[in-house]
Amino acid sequence: MKPRQIALAKILTYSGTLPLIASVLLTQFPFSGADARGIAMAYGAVIISFLCGIHWAIYLFFAQKCPSNLLITSNAVALLAWGSLLIVHQPTAILLQSLCFIYLLTLDLKLRDASILPQWFYCLRRNATIIVVLCLSAVKVLA
């Protein structure tokens, strides 16, 4: 990718964490009537599915080089994320989503080590995952 495309990818990725940051801020305004946990969980499921879609596409193009069968793992993780929305105990659901994000990052590490993902992308994913897991943890505790 060209430097300008990489910069845009970084801007879009960090912008993608804004709804979760907003969810944390919403916990400080309980009178607003907004369900910070529900918003964070719904957005988390969407983003996990998006990341799983990236892994699915990577497997389609690099199956021979992939360290694991991303067709299976990406579908399983996406289903877990959406299933988390059915869990009545929201703190448990948020924990499950956090574990999904961390697991997807470990897959990205393997893909980077297999020279499928570039270093800059792995670093971006690592940073975004840290932000996301911290936000989910904060919402879990504060809401």
Query: Which tens digits make up the pLDDT trace of 24-83?
Result: 999 998 888 889 999 999 999 999 999 999 999 999 999 999 988 899 999 999 999 999
The more confidently predicted of residues 67 and 85 is: 85
- Residue 117, C-beta contacts closer than 8 angstroms, at least 6 positions apart: 58, 108, 111
| pLDDT at residue 94 greater than cutoff 90 | yes
- For the chain, what is the mean pLDDT? 96
Q: 143 falls in which pLDDT band (50, 70, 90)?
A: confident
Mean pLDDT, residues 92-104 taken together: 98
Look at residue 68 in the predicted model and tell me its pLDDT.
83
Look at residue 30 in the predicted model and tell me its pLDDT.
80
- Residue 22, C-beta contacts closer than 8 angstroms, at least 6 positions apart: 39
Mean pLDDT, residues 111-124 taken together: 97
Tokens representing 116 are: 């499928």
Look at residue 64 in the predicted model and tell me its pLDDT.
93
Q: What percent of the chain has pLDDT over 90?
A: 92
